[in-house]
């Protein structure tokens, strides 16, 4: 199909020539869809079909979130992205003392298979791709999703989606870890092996730089520390006896898109180039799919402002454009009101419409890698690649990502960057519209979405009913089997699945693992 500009001029699918920039192979632009994937991981990129449009949603009860998912699917979203509340992220049930005041607040409360069934009621799991932002208990939520799909008659081979499952960045940026690093890496490796056999289309990890960026990381730090963590996961999988070309094609990544469009485009191009070289030359990956850096992008929540929230629409549009021009595989656009509260239905729909305008009303999807050969972008790509590699080498010199985490290296670097940005905003050196420049004293009142405080008691009542109805002997036997597997070398996901099918709760499953592996406490001073 021939594509044309508004003036009727033809648009080529791919522009060239593909020339060597400064000599080394890492600087070779190459063709889209071929090593080193600077220009994108697929030959046609969006000229065949657009990126997957995801919307991050989850709040209150499973029923409330289910209604939002149905609205998003009807609005044309191609993939769901599930937010879980803090108790779920930390492996606690809603009636646990640690959950008080947090149930359903920053995501949906999921305690058991019953909740997961309510969450996806009426959603055709064979037809949608689902991403779940969950880390320490990632295996638990993945297995619950598989059990719900089995209720629908959907086989594991048909399921597609992603679990974040990136615990290493939790020690650096977010803090929703449970187990010590060694146990977390073992659990990640068990998930890799399980997905290879049971869920071959599932992305078994989404190695995240997004949360580091939200904590203050620069673009170079975001990519460097993410790829350093990825190295650690690959090494753990290899140490567990997995073949690199069996699990690496299902690795995926998660990055932020900021308003600094040119640098963000360069960042994504450099990240692909570095990862391709690491996988091919360091780990010996032969399958081109093992060398591809496939990534999801979310627009930068940290750059949204509570002041003049409508201005966030412009920010999100520029950020989304940066992700698309950078070659993302899927994209979530934040709602303009997320700096204030959970997004309203209207704001969430508008965020999705922003992506649809980019895909269907602009010409950015009509050609592959529009910025290829740009003097500015190519130079920025080279420069940010060099900065990323230098930081990755610093991590390696400290003994790798885990050793560097234990010494607080990444955390200190990110905190210093966050401090520098805050200082620049306070001094006026960095302009933030509506905050330190172009302010408006007459912002219109805004009514945020609120979570019903009665939710916590309702979830506790559900749990009491579940525990009274289920076969407690079968649950305890399944949890005993899980503890035995965790004490040895067997894959823990199989006994974990049996326990969840018997209606064990998330808290009970995570407590069984805590009893064997313990919990992580950061070193003093970090």
Assess contact for 93 and 99: CB atoms under 8 A.
yes
How far apart are alpha carbons 314 and 299 in whole angstroms? 12
What's the confidence (pLDDT) of residue 526? 53
Q: Is the peptide bond before 36 cis (omega within 30 degrees of 0)?
A: yes
| Of 198, 194, 274, nearest in space to 242 by CA | 194
Q: What is the mean pLDDT of residues 131-140?
A: 95
Q: At CA 203, angle to CA 201 and CA 204, rounded to 5? A: 115
How far apart are alpha carbons 364 and 284 in whole angstroms? 35
What's the confidence (pLDDT) of residue 5? 61
pLDDT over 80 at 367, yes or no: yes
Q: Which residues contact 155 (CB under 8 A, 6 or more apart)?
A: 149
pLDDT per position as a tens digit, 442-461: 666 767 667 777 889 999 99
Q: Tell me whether residue 205 is in a domain.
A: yes
Range of the domain at 382: 15-43+165-427
Number of domains comprising the chain: 1
What's the confidence (pLDDT) of residue 59? 79
The beta strands (E) that lie in 65-136 are given as 79-83, 129-133
Q: Tell me whether residue 71 is in a domain.
A: no
The CATH number linked to 329 is 3.20.20.240
Tokens describing residue 209? 């730089």
Which of 48-57, 247-256, 282-291 shows the lowest mean pLDDT across its residues?
48-57
Q: Tell me whether residue 196 is in a domain.
A: yes
Q: What is the mean pLDDT of residues 187-215?
A: 95
Distances from the Cα of 229 to the Cα of 295, 342, 419, 483, angstroms:
15, 30, 24, 27
What's the confidence (pLDDT) of residue 22? 44
Assess contact for 255 and 210: CB atoms under 8 A.
yes
Assess contact for 332 and 296: CB atoms under 8 A.
yes
Distances from the Cα of 490 to the Cα of 139, 367, 397, angstroms:
15, 48, 33
What's the confidence (pLDDT) of residue 250? 92
End-to-end CA, the chain: 57
Average pLDDT, the chain: 92
What's the confidence (pLDDT) of residue 19? 39
What's the confidence (pLDDT) of residue 245? 97
pLDDT per position as a tens digit, 212-243: 999 999 999 999 999 999 999 999 999 999 99
Parallel, antiparallel or unpaired: strands 160-163 and 202-203? parallel
Assess contact for 519 and 178: CB atoms under 8 A.
yes
pLDDT per position as a tens digit, 291-318: 999 999 999 999 999 999 999 999 999 9
pTM of the model: 0.89
Q: Tell me whether residue 344 is in a domain.
A: yes
pLDDT over 50 at 18, yes or no: no
The beta strands (E) that lie in 21-175 are given as 52-57, 79-83, 129-133, 160-163
> How far is Cα of residue 127 from the mean position of the Cα atoms in its chain?
20
How far apart are alpha carbons 481 and 471 in whole angstroms? 16
pLDDT over 90 at 275, yes or no: yes
Q: Tell me whether residue 72 is in a domain.
A: no
Q: Tell me whether residue 452 is in a domain.
A: no
Q: At what angle do helices 472-487 and 506-517 cross, to 10 degrees?
A: 30
Q: Tell me whether residue 366 is in a domain.
A: yes
Q: Tell me whether residue 510 is in a domain.
A: no
Q: What is the mean pLDDT of residues 110-124?
A: 96
What's the confidence (pLDDT) of residue 523? 72
What's the confidence (pLDDT) of residue 1? 66
pLDDT per position as a tens digit, 496-508: 999 999 999 999 9
How far apart are alpha carbons 134 and 139 in whole angstroms? 9
Pairwise pLDDT comparison (128 vs 357), residue with the higher score: 357
Around Cβ 406, how many Cβ atoms within 10 Å?
15
Predicted confidence band of residue 87 (pLDDT cuts 50, 70, 90)? very high
What's the confidence (pLDDT) of residue 153? 96
């Amino acid at each position: 199909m021939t594509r044309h500009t508004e003036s009727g001029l033809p648009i080529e699918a791919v522009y060239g020539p593909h020339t060597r920039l400064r000599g080394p192979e890492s600087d070779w632009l190459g063709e889209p869809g071929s090593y080193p994937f600077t220009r994108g991981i697929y030959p046609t990129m969006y000229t065949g079909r657009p990126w997957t449009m995801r919307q991050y949603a989850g709040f209150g009860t499973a029923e409330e979130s289910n209604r939002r998912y149905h609205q998003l699917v009807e609005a044309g979203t191609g993939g769901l992205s599930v937010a879980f509340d803090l108790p779920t992220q930390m492996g606690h049930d809603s009636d646990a003392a640690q959950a008080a005041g947090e149930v359903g607040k920053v995501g949906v409360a999921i305690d058991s298979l019953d909740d997961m069934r309510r969450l996806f009621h009426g959603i055709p799991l064979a037809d949608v791709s689902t991403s779940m932002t969950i880390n320490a208990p990632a295996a638990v939520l993945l297995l619950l999703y598989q059990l719900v799909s089995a209720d629908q008659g959907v086989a594991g081979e048909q399921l597609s989606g992603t679990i974040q499952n990136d615990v290493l960045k939790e020690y650096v940026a977010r803090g929703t870890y449970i187990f010590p690093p060694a146990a977390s890496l073992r659990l990640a490796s068990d998930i890799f092996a399980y997905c290879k056999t049971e869920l071959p289309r599932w992305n078994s990890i989404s190695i995240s730089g997004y949360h580091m960026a939200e904590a203050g990381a620069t673009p170079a730090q975001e990519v460097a520390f993410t790829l350093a963590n990825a190295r650690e996961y690959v090494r753990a999988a290899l140490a567990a006896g997995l073949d690199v070309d069996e699990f690496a094609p299902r690795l995926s990544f998660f990055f932020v898109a900021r308003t600094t469009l040119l640098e963000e485009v360069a960042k994504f191009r450099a990240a692909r180039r570095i990862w391709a070289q690491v996988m091919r030359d360091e780990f010996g990956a032969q399958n081109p799919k093992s060398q591809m850096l496939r990534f999801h992008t979310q627009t930068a929540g940290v750059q949204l402002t509570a002041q003049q929230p409508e201005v966030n629409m412009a920010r999100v549009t520029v950020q989304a454009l940066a992700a698309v021009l950078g070659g993302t595989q899927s994209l979530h656009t934040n709602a303009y009101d997320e700096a204030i509260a959970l997004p309203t239905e209207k704001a969430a729909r508008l965020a999705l419409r922003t992506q649809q305008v980019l895909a269907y009303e602009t010409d950015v999807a009509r050609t592959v890698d529009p910025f290829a050969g740009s003097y500015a972008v190519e130079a920025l790509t080279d420069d940010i690649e060099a900065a990323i590699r230098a930081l990755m080498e610093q991590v390696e010199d400290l003994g790798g990502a885990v050793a560097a985490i234990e010494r607080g290296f990444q955390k200190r670097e990110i905190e210093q960057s966050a401090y520098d940005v805050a200082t620049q905003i306070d001094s006026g050196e960095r302009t933030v519209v509506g905050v330190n420049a172009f302010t408006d004293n007459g912002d219109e009142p805004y009514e945020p979405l609120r979570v019903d405080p009665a939710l916590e008691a309702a979830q506790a009542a559900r749990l009491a009913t579940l525990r009274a109805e289920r076969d407690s002997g079968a649950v305890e036997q399944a949890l005993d089997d899980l503890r035995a597997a965790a004490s040895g070398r067997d894959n823990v996901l199989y006994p974990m699945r049996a326990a969840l099918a018997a209606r064990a709760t998330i808290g009970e499953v995570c407590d069984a693992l805590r009893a064997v592996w313990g919990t992580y406490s950061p070193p003093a001073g970090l």
